[in-house]
Structure 1
Amino acid sequence: MRPDHRDPIRVLLIDCRPLVLRGLHDLINARKPQMEVSGQASTYTNALDLADQLRPNVIFFSFFPDALNPLEVVAGLTRSAEMKVLVLKGLYEAVPVAQAIEAGARGVVLAEDPTESIIRAIIKVHHRDSGSDRAWAGGLSGYASIGHVPTQCNLEQAKQARLTLREKELIRAIVGDPSAKYISIAGRLGISEHTVHNHLSNIYQKLDLINRIDLLMYALKHGLTHNEEPPESTWVELD
Structure 2
Amino acid sequence: MTDDVLAESVPIQVFIVDDHKTILWGLQRLVESARPHMQVAGVASCREALFASLSSKKIDVIVLDLDLGGQSSIEIIPFILQNSTAKILILTGDRSPSVHRAAILAGAKGIVLKDESAETLLQAIKQIHAGEVWIDHRLMDRILDLLPGQANQKSVQEVAQSKDSELTAREREIIRAVVLQRGAKGIVIAEALNISEHTLRNHLSTIYAKLKIRNRIDLFVYASEHSLDQDAEI
Answer yes or no: same fold by TM over 0.5. yes
TM-score, length of structure 1 as denominator length: 0.56
Distance 1:121 1:147, change over 3 A: farther
Q: Provide closer, same or farther for how the CA distance between residues 104 and 19 of structure 1 changes in structure 2, counting only shifts above 3 A.
A: same
**9-18 or 58-67: which moved more?**
58-67
| CA separation of 1:86 and 1:47: change in aligned 2, threshold 3 A | same
1:12–1:51 CA contact under 8 A, matched in 2: no
Distance change in 2, residues 1:51/1:35 (3 Å) = same
Q: CA deviation at 1:67?
A: 8.5
In the TM superposition, what is the alpha-carbon distance from 1:206 to its structure 2 partner? 3.6
Q: 1:157 and 2:160 equivalent? A: no
Aligned-residue CA RMSD in angstroms?
A: 4.0
Q: Does 1:118 align with 2:118?
A: no
The answer for the alignment partner of 1:10 in structure 2 is: 13
1:56 maps to 59
Which of 104, 107, 119 pairs up with 1:104? 107
Aligned to 1:34: 37
Sort the Cα spacing of 1:117 and 1:43 in 2 relative to 1 into closer, same or farther, 3 A.
Answer: same
Find the counterpart in structure 1 of residue 74 from structure 2.
Answer: 71
The superposition leaves residues 24-78 of structure 1 with CA deviations (integer Å, 9 ceiling, x where unpaired) of: 1111001112111111111111111112211310000112254876223111111
| Residue identity opposite 1:117 in structure 2 | T
- Aligned to 2:39, the other structure's residue is in SS state strand
- Whole-Å separation in 2 of the counterparts to 1:85 and 1:41: 14
2:67–2:92 CA contact under 8 A, matched in 1:
no
Inter-CA distance 95–65: structure 2 relative to 1 (3 Å threshold) = farther
> What is the distance in 2 between the residues matched to 1:12 and 1:61?
8
Match of 1:24 among 24, 27, 35: 27
What do the CA deviations read for 1:152-173 (whole angstroms, capped 9, x no partner)? 9532322455x6xxxxxxx9xx
The Cα shift of 1:128 comes to 0.8
Identity of aligned residues (%): 21
Q: CA deviation at 1:121?
A: 0.9
Equivalenced residues, count: 167
Question: 1:86 Cα shift?
Answer: 0.3
Distance 1:159 1:144, change over 3 A: closer
Equivalent position of 2:50 in the other structure: 47
**CA contact under 8 A between 2:18 and 2:65: conserved in structure 1?**
yes
Partner letter of residue 50 of structure 1? S
Residue of structure 2 aligned with 1:82, choices 82, 85, 99: 85
